[in-house]
Amino acid sequence: MSFSFDLLKQGKGTAARRGRFHTSHGIVNTPVFMPVGTQGTVKAVTPDDLRRLGAEIILGNTYHLYLRPGHELVRDLGGLHKFVGWDRPMLTDSGGFQVYSLGDLSKITEEGVKFQSHIDGSYHFLTPERSIEIQEALGADIIMCFDECPPHPSSYDYTSKSLDMTIRWAKRCLEARKRDDNALFGIIQGGMYADLRRRSAEETATLGFEGYALGGLSVGEPKPLMYEMVEATVPFMPVDKPRYLMGVGTPEDLVECVDRGIDMFDCVMPTRNARNGMLFTTRGKLVIRNSQYERDERPVDESCNCYTCSNFSRAYLRHLFKAKEILSSTLNTIHNLSYYITLMSQMRRAIEEDRFVEFKKEFYQLRADDDI
């Protein structure tokens, strides 16, 4: 096993923690935000862009890569790292969330999930064993257990039965492993019920995974409820393993959940919002299409030194967006990812220096300023 995790620092006055995990493709410092490369690419940017931004790990999507171009092809061409030109760590999800999001196109049974491709309508059957087979063929450094993500809202009875099946599937994932050069993370479910979250965390922890993820959050529930579920779950997750909150989220979500003890995050928000002209800044959100930026010579964020902010004005970025130029997506994405990666770096430093509580207060004070 080439994966290990070191807990380097426990924050003062907070559950925030500073860590580091080791993989066969390099070291990742936590807390960390992982850009999402759904189909083998982080949209609108190159691997070189990501390296310059300081990204240490990116994601691939099992469901999408299985359907196109196919995991066998990726395996035969040297694995996902070689296929996409990325020489640093990668994580692949199990496909469970995508199956959940298909809704009427999928049918869940104890054995697995039958689903219909969104590409050509063909039918497929994904099981825990098949998910592990696909992920091992792709060759990511971290792979995920196949789980069921219950919709929100769901009844207590349904959620309880669902998490029991997720635990049975987790055991099948462990038994299906053939490679020993990657890490397998278990996924904690339990919906919006604190006692179910605790039970899921405790039972999943006994299985001995290399890391643990919180699934089934940020699926439409109010933010305070999501934070409540994180708080209810983290105390029952192993201290000596990475904690991953899947599919989250906004800058505020990252700060709040680092404060609650989470180490790893992913979300399409910085890249998707960039393509839609919404940019993140230290003072809040900036919608670049707005007419107020037509003659604005300032960079997106005067405290940012990314390539976009170092070279281009808000006026130019607004022009590119209005003109529907491809460069708009690239420059906006570079900035948004730089903002997220820099935010995580700032939080790591604040934890190291025992000033995370002060950092969090300053983070919100800046965002209270309406002058963007």
The beta-strand segments (E) located in the chain are 4-10, 17-23, 26-30, 32-34, 58-61, 90-93, 106-108, 113-116, 123-126, 142-144, 183-188, 211-214, 243-245, 264-266, 278-281, 284-287
DSSP run (H or E) holding 134: helix 128-138
CA dist 43 and 286 (Å) reads: 20
> Is 266 among the residues known to form the active site?
yes
**In one letter, which amino acid is 158?**
Y
Apex CA 207: angle with CA 127 and CA 162, to 5°? 50
b/e code 40-60 from CB counts within 10 Å (16+ = b): bebbbbebebbeebebbbbbb
Q: Which residues contact 194 (CB under 8 A, 6 or more apart)?
A: 228, 229, 232
CA dist 29 and 22 (Å) reads: 9
Question: Beta 17-23 vs 4-10: how paired, if at all?
Answer: antiparallel
Tokens of 299: 């960079």
Find residue 287's DSSP bridge partners.
Answer: 278
> Among the options 253, 263, 266, 301, which is catalytic?
266
> Among the options 93, 141, 253, 263, which is catalytic?
93
DSSP state of 248: B
Tokens of 186: 């278990």
On the question of a cis peptide bond just before residue 251, with omega within 30 degrees of 0, the verdict is: no
Tokens of 167: 């635990």
On the question of a cis peptide bond just before residue 35, with omega within 30 degrees of 0, the verdict is: no
> Is 93 among the residues known to form the active site?
yes
3-state DSSP call for residue 220?
coil
Query: Pick from 88, 82, 86, 79: which is nearest to 26 by CA?
Result: 88
Q: How many CB atoms lie within 10 A of CB 334?
A: 21
Active site residues: 93, 266
